[in-house]
A and B are shown apart, each in its own frame.
Chain A
C-alpha cells in the first residue's frame, strides 16, 4: 500500500529562520511521483513541486529547496529565511506512475506558523 507520513503536525518559527518540513513515503512502485502542495489560510491548494522517482537531484526555487533521498524514502522541504506569508499547511503527496490513474495520496499535512 502507498502511504505518506508527515510526522510534524505543527511547526512554529520566527521570521527569517530556516525551517525543514519532513516527508516520508512508502510505495512498492519502482516509478512514482512526489509532490508538495501549500494550503494557505484562504483554503486553496497550491502546487509547489513535482519530482520523478528516477531523478534524485535536489531542487531549489528561490527560498524553497527540496531534498529527495530514495534510500530513506524521504522528500523533505526547506524554506530558507522564512516569511510570514509562508504560514500555511504544507502537504506532501505521492502518486503511482503506472497504476490508479495518478491519484494523489496525501500526508496529514504540517501546519507552519511564521511569526514576525
Chain B
C-alpha cells in the first residue's frame, strides 16, 4: 500500500459527460501528479500541483482540469468526454523531485 488513495476505482460513463477523479496524497507529501495510461500513448504526465499551486503541465487536454485543495487532496476533472479518453488515470505524490508513490488508479471507460 503506497499510502496514496484514489476514488473511484472504476468509472463508466457516456461520451459528452463530465467526471471528477479524486486523489489523497501520502501524509506529508505536498506534491501531487496526475498521469494517464493508455495502450497507444503509454504513461503520460498530465499535471502537477505543489501545495495548492500548479507547478507543471504536460500533455493535458483543454477539456481536462485539476486542482489541489488546502487539505492537499486533488481532483482531476474531465469534461466533454470522448471514447479516446478511456484510460487508467493515476495520481502520485512525493516530496518534490524524489520518488513518486502512485495510487491504485481510476479506470475510466467512456462508452
The residues of A with any CB-CB pair to B shorter than 8 Å are 33, 35, 37, 43-47, 50, 91, 95, 97, 100-109
Q: A33-B97, A45-B90 given as contacts; is B45 within 8 A of A105 (CB)?
A: yes
17 residue pairs bridging A and B, Cβ less than 8 Å apart: A35-B99, A45-B102, A46-B102, A47-B2, A47-B102, A91-B43, A97-B97, A101-B50, A101-B56, A101-B96, A102-B94, A102-B96, A102-B97, A103-B56, A104-B33, A106-B42, A106-B43
A102–B48 touching, CB < 8 Å: yes
A37-B56 Cα distance, complex, nearest whole Å:
22
A-side binding surface: helix, strand, loop or mixed? Answer: mixed
Q: Which residues of B have CB within 8 Å of A45?
A: 90, 92, 102, 105
Interface residues as binary, B68-111 with A (CB distance below 8 Å gives 1, 0 otherwise): 00000000000000000000101010101111111111010000
B residues contacting the other copy or chain, number (CB 8 A): 28
Q: A102-B31, A103-B45 given as contacts; is B104 within 8 A of A43 (CB)?
A: yes
The residues of B with any CB-CB pair to A shorter than 8 Å are 2, 31, 33, 35, 42-45, 48, 50, 55-56, 58, 88, 90, 92, 94, 96-105, 107
Greatest chain A CB density within 10 A among B31, B97, B101 is at B97
CB distance from A41 to the nearest CB of B (A): 13
A101-B46 Cα distance, complex, nearest whole Å:
12
CB distance from A35 to the nearest CB of B (A): 6
Q: Which residues of B have CB within 8 Å of A103?
A: 33, 45, 48, 56, 58
A107-B99 Cα distance, complex, nearest whole Å:
16
Q: A103-B45, A103-B48, A104-B45 given as contacts; is B99 within 8 A of A50 (CB)?
A: yes
A105-B90 Cα distance, complex, nearest whole Å:
14
